Amino acid sequence: MSATETRIPVTLIPGDGIGPECVTAARRIVEATGAPIDWEDAEAGAEVFKKGIASGVPQETMDSIARTRVALKGPLETPVGFGEKSANVTLRKLFETYANVRPVRELPGVVTPYSGRGVDLVMVRENVEDLYAGIEYMQTPSVAQALKLISVKGSEKISRFAFEYARSEGRTSVACATKANIMKFSEGTLKRVFERVAPDYPEIESWHVIVDNCAHQLVKRPEQFEVICTTNMNGDILSDLSSALVGGLGYAPSANIGNEVAIFEAVHGSAPKYAGKNVINPTAVILSSVLMLRYLGLFEEAASIEHAIFVTMESGVLTGDVLGYDRGTPTTEYTDSIIGNLGKRTEGWTIREVKPLELPVLSSAPDYVRPTSRNVVGLDVFVESPLTADELGASLTELAAGTRLELKMISSRGTKVYPPIGAMTETGDHFRCRFIIRENPGDLWDEDVHQLLARVSRRHMWMHIEKLQEFDGELGFTRDQGEN
Amino acid sequence: MSATETRIPVTLIPGDGIGPECVTAARRIVEATGAPIDWEDAEAGAEVFKKGIASGVPQETMDSIARTRVALKGPLETPVGFGEKSANVTLRKLFETYANVRPVRELPGVVTPYSGRGVDLVMVRENVEDLYAGIEYMQTPSVAQALKLISVKGSEKISRFAFEYARSEGRTSVACATKANIMKFSEGTLKRVFERVAPDYPEIESWHVIVDNCAHQLVKRPEQFEVICTTNMNGDILSDLSSALVGGLGYAPSANIGNEVAIFEAVHGSAPKYAGKNVINPTAVILSSVLMLRYLGLFEEAASIEHAIFVTMESGVLTGDVLGYDRGTPTTEYTDSIIGNLGKRTEGWTIREVKPLELPVLSSAPDYVRPTSRNVVGLDVFVESPLTADELGASLTELAAGTRLELKMISSRGTKVYPPIGAMTETGDHFRCRFIIRENPGDLWDEDVHQLLARVSRRHMWMHIEKLQEFDGELGFTRDQGEN
């Protein structure tokens, strides 16, 4: 492909702080390989927030990425506090880059407690669902709620992606890390879907590991992992854990890949205190550009850069983050050195032969899972109340009299407090009140729900309602601690 | 206190697999110190589940703990899959042991990549709130939702506990690890409350660290931490990560402490394949019993055991998990060795002088935070639909006509999809439809809500409702990706 005349447009976002230096280094190296890339400069991050654009990403940048379908970017600053969304997350979500890929590999000259053990794994993290959606509500003045949403389709996409990625790099195993033992529906969805699709990749060994044990194993014996597939929030923690095994964020590239668009970026921050001093380590963005070249099918150019990085580092040319800022090679000289080593091959380290990545193709039907039967069998009404559980229970029982629903129990943060079970649960002002249908089996109509709500509203403040559903005879809700 | 005649009753739960061997070792050692403990044997775990008790904890065990207020326990097995709750979680929640304490300390003879760096930290994890409540709903046949609930009161209890725990051990710093940058309400609550109470502990340095960076720093430079305060799910991962820094779960004690009850346990599993072979490492339960003795005010006995463990390990007496199962000291001999070393003092290692732990006392008022003003300004209606976002938007706009609410936007997993913003968001069958009040400023009444719901019900299936509230003029809900 490198011989073709076709030019490939790529959106280039320098970003904040040290971003421009990192991106410039990567761009110079990519250009030195002769890769047929046309860069489109675009803006995002702190300066954009300052202009009052709450997403941190201006329309021109959105348009550029929508056109080029590929972006290479530096770190973007996100104001901490209420209000603005992370610009990084904005880009991932708006372009539906559902797969976050974080390779973690031991590198020459970067000494860590794990040096010599050959750590070489890839974290594949779901990138658009889960708690990262940031859907939150103050339920009461003192109780906050975030929604963790996990879909079967999202889980199938990321599971298949992890297997396909393993295939493209010739890797032989994929582990799935979830907290399915506690969150049987949400985290459990990824576990079940992963186990369902695994047989489609018979040459790849696969297993499930509980996410806390995965963190433990990553510290204890990271060399056991090749590819780890996980949910968004847990993957965030596991990825940053893993990057520390091999020398930190200065060497941590990443790719955000979707069906339409791919965005390549370092995972480090904008480190403003080092900006403009020609001392920073640009390797993470350079390695991200290697991932980008492979995504674009430019395998020779990618391998050439990867070899040159390893040759450079083997020769002891390293930046200040590793050697100390008084002794490190300046950013521009480090870049020059990699360019000078293009065409050389590392002897001591293996550079993978990578094949094209096949993105999974799934049905675009919105009702991806279609049950043959469904019923509404009850209602959880979340109430803010200064009453005790007993008082609230008596009141709600009375209000529900004559409706098709009856109060089954009340819980506080997942533990049953009414009828009392002799527990020492401390209650606050936030109660979940579970009503079930009186006739069993039966199905609830919205009229029944409206009637009950109107009754509850007479005396109590509710702020949140969940229907209790059954799909194909399976309960679509969990029982509480203490509920039988 | 050890000289007193008062006997202290403690519930003793041997648990499953290797549990009985661990608990017997701890009991023998505690008894050898002359600590005035009366043990009450009690049952929980696999055998109890098999009897059909869905909590894994029989009433007699609940009664025993409610009486003694202190338990020492071995690991309990929890069936993986749908149905049963974790028996460990049951005990924590029913007795409101809101603080999980996990000391992580380098030990003599246990070689890890971190040996010699003096890792010595304590993880303080909120233990009864957060995703661990396991409140989940299938929103549609293919979208699962878990609720992450975090309260101001729970956050204040765990924050103050972390500072008090630091004080009791003479530690000088506490870090708070959250994901407040993404979940500004839920995770943000812990961050804000932690920062609010920190000045009450002026002799202790404190700071906030983003949880993924905390994982990174724990691998890179764990010796920087003394005490880490964090939420339940993230703390689960960070705790298991940390225990691997010092040699694994065989050496990881824990305490679950509440206002009324404290439960001390190892964090390792029941390891059935090693059960009954006299080869396992009982140190985690023994160290848990040291935490228990300190909680009971038996400081001399606790220090005596801790010294004896260190002396034993310094002398090279170690179990099979460290030396290999063919060469390790058998469990009973290891225990005998520790008993034989009671009264000796380690020279090479420091044993902390611990002072009584002061549990924070908070107001028991249910309405712990009382706003001076509050308004309901809108409604999020979660709808299952095979329509496109545009079709659904048009339909809901029409249905809301003539009500006090109007459709503001529709989002899919936190990203705005209607009115369209030019994003590539893939939608499924699950939409969140945000209605806001037409008059601004205004306040919504439940009648308005009932009217809108009745209209939506005419054409669409909804399964989840959230009121959009304002407290003291602050929005009690987050904006979506792409929403302005």
Is pLDDT above 80 for B245?
yes
What confidence tier does B4 reach under pLDDT thresholds 50, 70, 90? low
CB neighbour burial string for A433-471, b if at least 16 within 10 angstroms, e if fewer: bbbbbeeeeeebebebbbbbbebbbeebbbbbbbbbbbb
Strand partners, A462: A383
First to last CA, chain B: 63
Cβ-based contacts of B98 with chain A (< 8 Å) = 426
- Residue among B78, B236, B413 whose CB faces A129 most closely: B413
Alpha-carbon torsion, ordered B224, B225, B231, B234, to 10 deg? 50
Two structure tokens written together for A469: 């559903």
Please indicate if any CB of chain B lies within 8 Å of the CB of A86: yes
Q: How many CB pairs under 8 A join A and B?
A: 398
* Rounded distance between C-alpha atoms, residue A356 and residue A165, angstroms: 9
Q: Tell me: ipTM over 0.85.
A: yes
- CB-based contacts of A259, cutoff 8 Å, min separation 6: A96, A98, A359, B426
Q: pLDDT above 70 covers what percent of chain B?
A: 97
* Rounded distance between C-alpha atoms, residue B159 and residue B229, angstroms: 7
How long is chain A? 484
- Residue among B260, B425, B449 whose CB faces A94 most closely: B425
Contact check, Cβ <8 Å, A149/B145? yes
Helices and strands (H, E) in chain B, number of each type: 14, 18
- Residue among B182, B237, B453 whose CB faces A450 most closely: B453
Contact check, Cβ <8 Å, A182/B369? no
Q: Please report the residues numbered 300 through 329 in chain A whose beta carbons come closer than 8 angstroms to any beta carbon of chain B.
A: none
Number of other CB atoms surrounding residue A370 within 10 Å: 13
Cβ-based contacts of A213 with chain B (< 8 Å) = 240
- Are the CB atoms for A288 and A102 separated by under 8 Å? no
Task: Give the gap in angstroms from C-alpha B461 to the nearest C-alpha of chain A.
Answer: 9
pLDDT of residue B1: 46
What confidence tier does B150 reach under pLDDT thresholds 50, 70, 90? very high
Write phi, then psi, for A475 (nearest 5 degrees): -60, 130
DSSP assignment of B65-112 equals HHHHSEEEE-------SSSPPPHHHHHHHHTT--EEEEEEE--TT---
Task: Give the gap in angstroms from C-alpha A336 to the nearest C-alpha of chain B.
Answer: 29
* Rounded distance between C-alpha atoms, residue A439 and residue A454, angstroms: 21
For residue A139, the chain B residue with the least C-alpha distance is B476
- Residue among B139, B248, B368 whose CB faces A142 most closely: B368
Cβ-based contacts of A414 with chain B (< 8 Å) = 93, 132-135, 149
Identity of the amino acid at B427? T
Q: Please report the residues numbered 93 through 112 in chain A whose beta carbons come closer than 8 angstroms to any beta carbon of chain B.
A: 93-96, 98
Contact check, Cβ <8 Å, A66/B424? yes
pLDDT of residue A82: 38
Q: Please report the residues numbered 199 through 228 in chain B whose beta carbons come closer than 8 angstroms to any beta carbon of chain A.
A: 211-213, 215-220
- Residue among A80, A212, A466 whose CB faces B236 most closely: A212
* Rounded distance between C-alpha atoms, residue B363 and residue A353, angstroms: 63
Contact check, Cβ <8 Å, B481/A181? no
- Residue among B215, B425, B454 whose CB faces A450 most closely: B454
- Say if residue A419 is preceded by a cis peptide, omega within 30 of 0: yes
* Rounded distance between C-alpha atoms, residue B412 and residue B401, angstroms: 23
pLDDT of residue B86: 77
Contact check, Cβ <8 Å, A94/B424? yes
> Which letter does DSSP use for residue A481 in this model?
B
Sequence-ordered alpha helix ranges (H) in A119-185 = 152-168
Identity of the amino acid at A309? I
Output the average pLDDT for chain B. Answer: 93
Tell me the mean pLDDT per 10 residues along chain A, length 484.
74 96 98 97 89 86 96 86 66 90 96 95 96 94 97 97 98 97 95 98 98 97 98 97 93 96 94 95 98 97 98 96 93 98 96 95 85 94 96 97 95 91 86 92 88 96 97 91 68
Give per-residue pLDDT as tens, A326-341.
Answer: 999 999 999 999 999 9
Please indicate if any CB of chain A lies within 8 Å of the CB of B351: no
Contact check, Cβ <8 Å, A145/B186? yes
* Rounded distance between C-alpha atoms, residue B160 and residue B190, angstroms: 11
- CB-based contacts of A38, cutoff 8 Å, min separation 6: A7, A8, A9, A10
* Rounded distance between C-alpha atoms, residue A282 and residue A322, angstroms: 12
- Residue among B142, B249, B468 whose CB faces A151 most closely: B142
- Are the CB atoms for B87 and B55 separated by under 8 Å? yes
Give per-residue pLDDT as tens, B82-122.
Answer: 346 778 878 888 899 999 999 999 999 999 999 999 999 99
Long-range contacts of A55-63 (CB under 8 A, 24+ apart): A55/A84, A55/A85, A55/A87, A55/A90, A55/B481, A55/B482, A56/A84, A56/A85, A56/A86, A56/A87, A56/A90, A57/A87, A57/A90, A57/A91, A57/A94, A61/A11, A61/A13, A62/A94, A62/B422
pLDDT of residue B46: 86
Strand partners, B437: B405
Two structure tokens written together for B269: 């599993």
Nearest to A70 by CA among A47, A46, A42, A102: A42
For residue B185, the chain A residue with the least C-alpha distance is A144
Identity of the amino acid at B8? I
For residue A425, the chain B residue with the least C-alpha distance is B96
- Are the CB atoms for A455 and B125 separated by under 8 Å? no
Give per-residue pLDDT as tens, B204-222.
Answer: 999 999 999 999 999 999 9
Q: How large is the C-alpha radius of gyration of chain A?
A: 26
Please indicate if any CB of chain A lies within 8 Å of the CB of B239: yes
Positive or negative, the CA dihedral A220, A210, B102, B232 is positive
* Rounded distance between C-alpha atoms, residue A400 and residue B82, angstroms: 30
- Residue among B237, B385, B466 whose CB faces A212 most closely: B237
Please indicate if any CB of chain A lies within 8 Å of the CB of B466: yes
* Rounded distance between C-alpha atoms, residue A6 and residue A210, angstroms: 46
Contact check, Cβ <8 Å, B132/A182? yes
Q: pLDDT above 90 covers what percent of chain A?
A: 84
Please indicate if any CB of chain A lies within 8 Å of the CB of B78: yes
Q: Please report the residues numbered 375 through 394 in chain B whose beta carbons come closer than 8 angstroms to any beta carbon of chain A.
A: 380, 385-388
Q: Which residue matches tokens 């340095």?
A: B205
Higher pLDDT, B264 or A440: B264
- Burial class (CB within 10 angstroms; exposed 0-12, middle 13-18, buried 19+) of B459: middle
Average pLDDT value for residue range B262-284: 95
Interface probe, candidates A65, A412, A481, chain B, greatest B C-beta count within 10 A: A481
Nearest to B311 by CA among B274, B282, B342: B342
Give per-residue pLDDT as tens, B295-342.
Answer: 999 999 999 999 999 999 999 999 999 999 999 999 999 999 999 999
Whole-angstrom CA distances from B301 to A295, B104, B315, B343 are: 63, 21, 21, 10
What is the value of pTM for the model shown?
0.95
